[in-house]
Amino acid sequence: MVSNQILKETLNKLREASGMEFTLYRQDATVITADYIRKSDELKVLQNHLTEEPGMQEYQERLYFNVFDNGNVEYVLACEKRPAYASLAGSMAVIQLEQLIESHQERQDKDNFIKNLLMDNLLPVDIYNRAKKLNINPRKPRVAFLIETRSRDNEGVLETIKSMFAENENDFAAAIDENNIVLVKELKSADDDQELKQIAGTIADMMNTEVMIQVRVAYGNVASEIRKVSNSYKEAKLAMSVGKIFNSDQNIIAYASLGIGRLIYQLPLPMCKMFIEEIFKDKSPETFDEETLTTINQFFENSLNVSETSRQLYIHRNTLVYRLDKIQKNTGLDLRVFDDAITFKIALMVVQYMRYMEKIGRVD
């Protein structure tokens, strides 16, 4: 059903264009918007005197027009009999309203189709048949973006996103829950990774400047045809979850760049605990002091380069070597050796994953 706000905005434009004052009712006589004070018998007229036939109906000093939706009277439009062009203005207003209803219905049909598509509620044969009926090209590349809002005004965020991509009627946006919105975007090319980053960046920037909230945007791989869109959506959900653990400082996360974090996220927690005990024994990374952890992270960021790490930490090279020797003594892993460094890096990520799962209450 078309929102009252959209109906009011449409009637305001019609009033400005025609100079006429309109009142719109639902078929049950509920007032949607009124430009003049209703007379006491207005509702009685609607309920008892009007037929459900197309065209204009006249009663006393007012004209009434039935507005149809799928062959049924959905609204009644009323206006004064004067000026002389009132009947023409009313008829044109009805045409505008019925076109609005039809367009909205088509949009709703497309939205329901995409929602069922994302939730895997459609058979492959149904996907292509319904896409054809809705004039959706099934061969166009598309990608799913997931926007985490953490906002009380989720509806305002959704409307902003819809307005951002209103030019393409085959783009789809909907609220998944109170904190997440999905956008299915039709693309010009399936191979332009830069376009995906640009779209995600535009969404994040727009939310920050227009709605004044910080969001996190995750997106999946490009789906080459419409039946694969649900895969892109699942990838975006996974990217969002993994990104919260291993890329918490980033507000844009691509499924294609998750790396080893994607594998760790799917490990059973008992296996993770066994791995950490095997690597660190009784010396858990949680017991490392902040200086040691900073040294380790900086050393990894500089690709195991001792000179560059000591320079960035503003310490002497020998001091860094001393710290690395101390880590080797405590863990048995020499971070200057590639295999040991890889093992240590994975172990730290596993610890991150375990902490996150404990935080959200998943300890199985």
Residues 325 and 352 in one domain: yes
Interatomic CA distance for residues 81 and 59, integer angstroms: 9
Kindly state whether residues 18 and 90 are assigned to the same domain. yes
Whether the pLDDT of residue 108 is over 60: the answer is yes
- Residue 210's pLDDT band, with cuts at 50, 70 and 90, is confident
| DSSP for residue 54 | S
257: amino acid identity, one letter: S
Q: For 232-266, how does the pLDDT look when each residue is reduced to its tens digit (9 = 90+)? A: 999 999 999 999 999 888 999 999 999 999 999 99
pLDDT band at 39 (very low <50, low <70, confident <90, very high): low
Lowest mean pLDDT among 3-12, 42-51, 107-116: 42-51
Q: Does residue 323 sit in helix, strand or coil? A: helix
Asked, for residue 117, whether it belongs to a domain, the answer is: no
Q: If you average pLDDT over each of 67-71, 81-85, 161-165, 309-313, which comes out highest?
A: 309-313
The model's confidence at residue 174, banded by pLDDT at 50, 70 and 90, is confident
* 202 found inside a domain: yes
Of the residues 50, 74, 103, the one at which a domain ends: 103
pLDDT tens for 306-351 read 999 999 999 999 999 999 999 898 888 999 999 999 999 999 999 9
Instruction: Look at residue 41 in the predicted model and tell me its pLDDT.
Output: 61
Q: How far is 199 from 146, CA to CA, in rounded Å?
A: 12
Q: Are residues 169 and 240 in the same domain?
A: yes
- Percent of the chain clearing pLDDT 90 (strictly above): 37
Mean pLDDT of 187-207: 86
Give the pLDDT score at 112: 85
Per-residue pLDDT at 201: 93
Instruction: Assess contact for 186 and 168: CB atoms under 8 A.
Output: yes
pLDDT computed for residue 49 by the predictor: 58
Query: For position 221, which CATH number holds?
Result: 3.30.70.270
Last residue of a domain, one of 45, 68, 103: 103
Q: Are residues 71 and 85 in the same domain?
A: yes
242 and 139 inside one domain: yes
pLDDT range class, residue 26, cuts 50, 70, 90? confident
pLDDT at residue 236, as a whole number: 96
Instruction: Give the CATH number for residue 290.
Output: 1.10.10.2840
Computed over every residue of the chain, the mean pLDDT equals: 86
In this prediction, residue 152 carries a pLDDT of 65
Task: Tell me the average pLDDT across 67-75.
Answer: 85
Number of domains within the chain: 3
Mean pLDDT of 209-234: 91
What is the C-alpha separation between 129 and 242, in angstroms, rounded?
Answer: 35
pLDDT at 228: 93
Domain match, 253 and 285 both: no
Residue 166 and residue 253 share a domain: yes
pLDDT at 156 over 80: no
Which of 262, 279, 300 terminates a domain? The answer is: 262
Kindly report whether the peptide bond that precedes residue 83 is cis, defined as omega within 30 degrees of 0.
yes
Based on the fold, state whether residues 56 and 16 are members of the same structural domain: yes
Nearest to 328 by CA among 350, 295, 290, 305: 295
User: What pairing do the DSSP bridges indicate for beta strands 72-80 and 22-26?
Assistant: antiparallel
Kindly state whether residues 243 and 293 are assigned to the same domain: no
Same domain (yes/no): 281, 253: no
Band the pLDDT of 110: cuts 50, 70, 90. confident
**Nearest one of 225, 218, 275 to 242, comparing CA atoms:** 218
Q: What is the CA radius of gyration of the chain?
A: 30
Same domain, 92 and 128: no
For residues 276 and 245, state if they share a domain: no
The answer to whether residue 299 is domain-embedded is yes
The per-residue pLDDT for 79 is 87
**pLDDT at residue 317, rounded to an integer:** 92
13, two tokens: 């434009």
Residue 136 lies in a domain: yes
CA distance 147 to 213: 12
pLDDT at residue 297 above 70?
yes
Domain span at residue 246? 124-262
- Can you tell me the distance from the alpha carbon of 139 to that of 299, in angstroms, rounded to the nearest whole number? 47
Out of 46-60, 87-101, 125-139, 181-195, least confident range = 46-60
* CATH of residue 80: 3.30.450.40
pLDDT over 70, % of the chain: 92
